[in-house]
């Protein structure tokens, strides 16, 4: 029973983590909470639906297509909605992000209508027994895809040149530029990666809950944002940990009888953690060395 809930929680948490990574990476570099990130996740889910239903593609192709589409979208949003505001007050890009978020929700409602649509069948609903726990094929796929993507991200950030440049720019923007790093390109790259991960999350969640709607990004985005803050905003391992933590807590909370409060669990948890660790689980102390 408990192990079953843990498994469900980790599955849910893996999807939160995929979204949370985008928040944390973008914040790490330009100190912006990208409020349109949840909508990128939503659009990713719709691209998945489109690929499966209209283009009759399998899961892998649909997933990759959604990721690519959202990469382009994320990079474009940064170019037209955030970059021109980079030297203005910090509130300006934040408001711009909220604008983009509303725009995408409205646009999608206009195209697909406000009702949730079912995700067309793309994988069978086989169940496997692993001792006391049952795991569905969707869950296995979510866990494998999320692990691969996060391992890939870790590899890029740790070993690949542009990933190292990301770390440098997120620590010290000006000095990164003084080293010859094209910081704008690094920012575009960050948006591309973050958006691709969110799109993957959108497709996987769409399949898992068999539902996709223009408003699915609102709550998922908020919760993933909580996960990012919980883990320590700006910290990549923090976003992964925060996502898993939140998924497990939410699932256990529901199983423990708090199902009416399901959506409040994330926020309650966030408040409690921040009371004791204001910079989140893996966040760095705020002070800067001079």
Partner 1 sequence: MLLEVNDLHVSYGAIRALKGIFCQVGEGEIVALIGANGAGKTTTLRTISGLIRPQSGTITYKGQPITKMPPHQIVSLGICQVPEGRRVFTRMTVLENLEMGAYTRKDKANVKADIEKVFQRFPRLAERKSQLAGTLSGGEQQMLAMGRALMSRPTVLLMDEPSMGLAPMLVQEIFSIIKEINQAGTTILLVEQNAHMALSIANRAYVLETGEIVLSGPARDLANNPEVQKAYLGE
Q: Which parts of this chain interact with partner 1 (CB under 8 A)?
A: 161, 164-165, 167-168, 171-172, 174-184, 289-290
- Residue 25: which residues within 8 A CB-CB, separation 6 or more? 166, 170, 190, 193, 194, 236, 239
The smaller minimum CB distance to partner 1, of residues 63 and 236, is found at 236
> For residue 220, which of 263, 183, 184 has the smallest C-alpha distance?
263
**Helical segments of 78-171, H only:** 91-112, 137-159, 161-171
Report the nearest approach of partner 1 to the CB of residue 286 (Å): 14
CA distance 201 to 48: 11
Report the nearest approach of partner 1 to the CB of residue 162 (Å): 10
What phi, psi does 281 have (nearest 5°)?
Answer: -60, -50
The smaller minimum CB distance to partner 1, of residues 112 and 167, is found at 167
> For residue 42, which of 187, 173, 263, 211 has the smallest C-alpha distance?
211
Report the DSSP pairing between strands 133-136 and 127-130.
antiparallel
The smaller minimum CB distance to partner 1, of residues 217 and 232, is found at 232
The smaller minimum CB distance to partner 1, of residues 66 and 181, is found at 181
The smaller minimum CB distance to partner 1, of residues 13 and 28, is found at 28
Q: Which two tokens stand for residue 154?
A: 């870790």
What phi, psi does 88 have (nearest 5°)?
Answer: -95, -170
CA distance 269 to 38: 20
CA distance 21 to 5: 24
DSSP element (H, E) containing 216:
helix 216-231
Report the nearest approach of partner 1 to the CB of residue 59 (Å): 37
DSSP element (H, E) containing 23:
helix 2-30
Report the nearest approach of partner 1 to the CB of residue 170 (Å): 9
The smaller minimum CB distance to partner 1, of residues 156 and 183, is found at 183
Report the nearest approach of partner 1 to the CB of residue 288 (Å): 9
Q: What 8-state DSSP symbol labels residue 212?
A: B
Report the nearest approach of partner 1 to the CB of residue 169 (Å): 9
Report the nearest approach of partner 1 to the CB of residue 148 (Å): 25
The smaller minimum CB distance to partner 1, of residues 125 and 174, is found at 174
């Amino acid at each position: 029973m408990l192990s079953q809930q843990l498994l469900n929680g980790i599955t849910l948490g893996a999807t939160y983590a995929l979204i949370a990574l985008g928040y944390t990476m973008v914040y790490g570099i330009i100190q912006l909470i990208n409020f349109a990130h949840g909508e990128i996740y939503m659009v990713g889910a719709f691209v998945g639906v489109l690929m499966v239903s209209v283009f009759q593609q399998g899961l892998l192709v649909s997933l990759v297509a959604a990721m690519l589409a959202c990469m382009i979208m994320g990079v474009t949003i940064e170019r037209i909605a955030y970059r021109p505001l980079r030297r203005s007050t910090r509130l300006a890009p934040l408001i711009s992000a909220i604008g983009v978020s509303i725009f995408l929700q409205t646009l999608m409602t206009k195209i697909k209508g406000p009702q949730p649509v079912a995700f067309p069948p793309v994988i069978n609903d086989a169940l496997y027994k692993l001792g006391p726990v049952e795991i569905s094929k969707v869950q296995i796929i979510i866990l494998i895809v999320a692990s691969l993507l996060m391992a890939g991200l870790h590899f890029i950030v740790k070993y690949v040149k542009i990933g190292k440049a990301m770390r440098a720019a997120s620590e010290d923007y000006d000095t990164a530029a003084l080293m010859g790093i094209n910081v704008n390109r690094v920012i575009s790259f960050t948006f591309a990666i973050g958006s691709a991960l969110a799109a993957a999350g959108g497709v996987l969640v769409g399949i898992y809950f068999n539902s996709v709607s223009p408003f699915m990004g609102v709550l998922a985005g908020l919760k993933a944002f909580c996960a990012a803050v919980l883990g320590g905003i700006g910290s990549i391992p923090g976003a992964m940990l925060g996502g898993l933590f939140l998924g497990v807590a939410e699932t256990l909370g529901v199983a423990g009888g708090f199902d009416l409060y399901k959506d409040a669990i994330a926020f309650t948890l966030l408040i409690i953690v921040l009371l004791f660790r204001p910079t989140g689980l893996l966040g760095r102390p705020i002070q800067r060395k001079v």
